[in-house]
Structure 1
């Protein structure tokens, strides 16, 4: 149920621009992703953050619960411990032109979306 909701939400919110998840298949969620293998993050909306691993895989995560300060074009500052970004890692955002970071939010699990 959650994966379907994420896909539908991401597709709806990316209307008008190329959908990076189009044609991809969701896999089982994982708790951590190796930072040396990913690029990003790209904030889609208040519920969706994308990390790109390659042309084949995109990881989808977002905040646990509400994170009203999470908006496209903001800068994401993640508190990473070690070489992986993980579920429950804390993050803040900074809006361009402002120097005060937002309140603290936590990351959910990471769902891989692969090209078949």
Structure 2
């Protein structure tokens, strides 16, 4: 197993364990609205730096949001979103240190450990804090 693959598995496990604490009990549109509150959308990007990700939130049947610094990168999934739920552990195999559009993410059941399916990532839209004008 390559060092980068082991890193990704460790990151997936760490983020996966943290995701229930990050996941909100609000309805998915409300969860997304909370992430975007006070933020401005930037130009979508094809890739983000996976080692810089320190937070993540699964928004069921729709979206995965990754946090780097104070910026949330919202990923509207290209396919497989109907399988996504907040109890999934996301397992990503990357080739390098970037997570990119068209990468696949396996969905593993947190409790039973079985593979539930996969999703295909879309572009990452950055949401940065809006400038405060006084």
TM-score of the pair, normalised by structure 1? 0.78
- Structure 1: gaps of 5 or more residues: 1-9
**8 Å Cα contact 2:80/2:118 also seen in 1:** no
Greater helix share, 1 or 2? 2
**Aligned 1:66-105 pairs, distance under 5 A:** 66-105=80-119
Q: Distance in 2 between matches of 1:52 and 1:32?
A: 13
> Aligned-residue CA RMSD in angstroms?
2.1
The superposition leaves residues 92-115 of structure 1 with CA deviations (integer Å, 9 ceiling, x where unpaired) of 111221121122321001000000
Aligned residue in 1 for 2:42: 27
**8 Å Cα contact 1:13/1:45 also seen in 2:** no
- Structure 2: gaps of 5 or more residues: 1-26
Gap change, CA 1:75 and 1:14, over 3 Å in 2:
same
Aligned pair count reads 104
Alpha-carbon offset, residue 11 of structure 1: 7.1
Q: Distance in 1 between matches of 2:77 and 2:29?
A: 18
TM-score of the pair, normalised by structure 2? 0.69
